[in-house]
Amino acid sequence: MTPDSNRSTLRELLLKKSVMRGDFTLASGAKSDLYVDCRLTTLDAQGGALVGQVLLPVLREAEKQLGVKIAAVGGLTMGADPVALSVAVASHQADPANPVHAFSVRKEAKQHGRKKLVEGNFKDGDVVAVIDDVITTGGSTLKAIDQIEAEGGKVAFALVLLDREEGGRANIEARGVKVFSAYTRSQLLG
């Protein structure tokens, strides 16, 4: 498949499995007539493969634009977890000598063991991209950025599957972290 056909197929899958109309309360507390449960697509076998194939070129273009090299991708569990792993797998398949690894950010540090806040392929000083499946206000992404930085990571940019175009991009970019997305709400629904 070509990058354009991957993008089109993933869009169709998101529309079929993840986009719901009704009366919803979002994580931000805001009310909406639209809910996009990306996990129904990102945890789907075909969807997971497509997410990596669609987001990896976005990540590589962001690296080029910003002049950075990303060691790993991850974000707040649980929405970011399958997205991060999909990008990591796609990066290995595309170039085994130049992979991007995945990590997960806990909502709170474990109270036992090593008491880590960030799990997986992440260490102090790593230059990373924070990942999210959907941004609305950006609250979850901003929390992940705070926790990554608290653990010594350097967040180069944010990579999201869907920007709902409801202020999240502006809130994250006001923090100094540029946002790159596979789709915006208008691209997905248009």
Q: What is the pLDDT of residues 92-144, one digit of tens each?
A: 999 999 999 999 999 876 666 666 789 999 999 999 999 999 999 999 999 99
- Mean pLDDT to the nearest integer, 169-190: 96
The 10s digit of each residue's pLDDT in 35-90 is 899 999 999 999 999 999 999 999 999 999 999 999 999 999 999 999 999 999 99
What is d(CA 87, CA 74) in angstroms, rounded to the nearest whole number?
10
| C-alpha 19 chain-centroid distance | 17
Task: Give me the torsion for CA of 73, 101, 151, 135, rounded to 10°.
Answer: 20
Q: Which CATH class is domain 3-189?
A: alpha beta
The answer to whether the CB of 105 falls within 8 A of the CB of 148 is yes
- The pLDDT score that the predictor gives to residue 154 is 98
Domain boundaries, the chain: 3-189
- The pLDDT score that the predictor gives to residue 34 is 85
Using omega within 30 degrees of 0 as the cis cutoff, is the peptide bond preceding 20 cis?
A: no
In the predicted model, is pLDDT for residue 26 greater than 90?
Answer: no
pTM over the 0.75 mark:
yes
User: Which residues, at least 6 apart from 162, have a Cβ–Cβ distance to it below 8 Å?
Assistant: 14, 36, 38, 133, 134, 135, 181, 182, 183, 184, 185, 188
